[in-house]
Structure 1
């Protein structure tokens, strides 16, 4: 009962937080038919700023990190991303009225990671004074890249099997290169390298850190407007996508929480780090994933996988998932 009460309190408080407030505000603005638009160039710049800040902090921390302690969470991140895509594909393959490529792309997007959801989780953990390893957000690419690669490989193999007499081999290295060239991963990895190899503490503290929360609020506003627009697109495809998007983030996050707890016992992974791992597992890519999948699985319908992710999956991961994992951590670790 204490867990349920704590979760409900956190859930209600979350609706008063600026982060979720801007998300809901964006949805309301779009629902009222407002012509408010945030130029795409500004949106891309904000995403770059957020990921650079996260990357710089992670790179600075990795300098002093115990690489052995980091290795196990990184391996778990890879396994989680692969398993989400594999199981998600199997689920969609059994459901009626689902196009196979659409199902694979949806599983791939939910196996990949949302930079915005990660940023929200970091802010909430800081507000709660929950300590986590600064390199924990750097687990992002360990889950994101394998998930996207596996989804594209599976879709290509399926398509080639449908074309009788064709070779089913897929150029995996080409997919890896394209994934790494994505704007979100490029920014995050650039920040990691700069934080690791340069004395970047001054620019982080004086420039990136003070702007972080303001830029995050604008990002949430944009996501809210896009979420409302995608709801209309989601209605045109099978309702299974909405059901999957409502349940999958929480299931994925709970699985990651269990693996994170194992890492806590074996290598001392912090409770905050366990929460971060759970959040990135529950999230679904909204920045790097869609363009990667559009290019890698062009036959898939974006209304299905992006609609499920943006209009349902992301709000569930932020509004329900983050408070749930924090409340669960308080019970398990006695925070």
Structure 2
């Protein structure tokens, strides 16, 4: 509980709450659209770069390859399961269901960092290469979400070649994958000169980004009342289902107990940094009030308080 309180009282989360409070109070506080879009681009570059640098540190060991393949497979496939539940149970339209689904295939950096700290205190520190798996799980879910949104969406769906061109060369995907490859090639030494921008300023700029997301989510919530009881319920059910599946797969492929728990926690988490930034660029018609309320308002606190110890206990039982 102390760890949960400490996490939920961190500046990053508090700036999101400030944005929500300002929106609900009908303040005229606003982040200019150009700045908000620039922050989205910055965050995706920073996440991709740091992920590539982490992989360059650890190297492509067999354990990394197996864990990475499992993580990428989970990230790509989980949105398709979530999409079916969101359209049939929560009754969301295709675009919003696709945007939300992408969040539940991708990962939350803060949830993972908190999990590593909690597991470490219990003598269950995950392997270092799980940070690389975290980075690799960012993008596949975005691709899945865009595939789901474009297939039979509101506008005419392109042909197969046009669909893959649109998905794979979408600005957000290009930024994440391209930055990851640059970080992989540059390595730690090459990252040092640009670290003050992409590492030192990351948390500060992330606070501004989440302030804007809080403002957007709060104002959309007041306008649309989009978070229904069914959607909120799925915000708890999806991490339980995804996390259990990830933990079982991690154990089945031979990961140690701590790393299997970490894979489960990654599968259970829902992105509220990379995917909102990507959806803002790729699917501006989707409702931020819905996908941010589910991922950050429902799933994030659930995972911090219940999910992390739950999947750690499951990994220990399976192990």
* Range into which the TM-score falls when normalised by the shorter chain: 0.7 to 0.9
Q: 1:233 to 1:142 in 2, by over 3 A?
A: farther
Residues 241 and 268 in structure 2, CA contact (< 8 A), matched pair in contact too: no
SS of the aligned residue for 1:247 comes to helix
**CA deviation map 1:147-194 (0-9, x unaligned):** 34344444555469x99xx99746453122326644444434433332
> Does 2:247 align with 1:251?
no
Paired residue for 1:55, among 36, 48, 51? 51
Residues 51 and 135 in structure 2, CA contact (< 8 A), matched pair in contact too: no
Q: Distance in 1 between matches of 2:305 and 2:178?
A: 29
- How far apart are residue 311 of structure 1 and its match? 1.9
Q: 1:58 to 1:323 in 2, by over 3 A?
A: farther
- How far apart are residue 310 of structure 1 and its match? 1.0
> Does 2:168 align with 1:176?
yes
Q: 1:156 to 1:52 in 2, by over 3 A?
A: closer
Map of 1:39-78 to 2, 5 A cutoff? Answer: 39-40=35-36, 43-44=39-40, 46-48=42-44, 50-51=46-47, 54-63=50-59, 65-66=60-61, 68-78=62-72
Q: 1:43 to 1:81 in 2, by over 3 A?
A: same
> Does 2:81 align with 1:87?
yes
Q: 1:92 to 1:56 in 2, by over 3 A?
A: closer
- How far apart are residue 74 of structure 1 and its match? 1.9
Aligned to 1:308: 290
> Does 2:184 align with 1:192?
yes
Residues 227 and 293 in structure 2, CA contact (< 8 A), matched pair in contact too: no
Aligned to 1:136: 130
Residues 102 and 145 in structure 2, CA contact (< 8 A), matched pair in contact too: yes
> Does 2:242 align with 1:278?
no
Structure 1 gaps, min length 5:
1-7, 295-300
Residues 81 and 281 in structure 1, CA contact (< 8 A), matched pair in contact too: no
Q: Distance in 2 between matches of 1:17 and 1:53?
A: 24
Structure 2 gaps, min length 5:
none
How high is the TM-score relative to the length of structure 1? 0.70
Residues 239 and 299 in structure 2, CA contact (< 8 A), matched pair in contact too: yes
Aligned to 1:124: 114
How high is the TM-score relative to the length of structure 2? 0.73
> Does 2:311 align with 1:317?
no
Q: Distance in 1 between matches of 2:250 and 2:240?
A: 15
Aligned to 1:4: none
Residues 139 and 277 in structure 1, CA contact (< 8 A), matched pair in contact too: no
Aligned to 2:18: 25
Residues 26 and 224 in structure 1, CA contact (< 8 A), matched pair in contact too: yes
- How far apart are residue 71 of structure 1 and its match? 1.9
> Does 2:222 align with 1:232?
yes
Q: Distance in 2 between matches of 1:159 and 1:24?
A: 33
**CA deviation map 1:12-34 (0-9, x unaligned):** 34333333333323322332233
Q: Distance in 1 between matches of 2:143 and 2:307?
A: 28
**CA deviation map 1:275-328 (0-9, x unaligned):** 36623642142112343345xxxxxx512xx33211222233332213434324
- How far apart are residue 238 of structure 1 and its match? 6.3
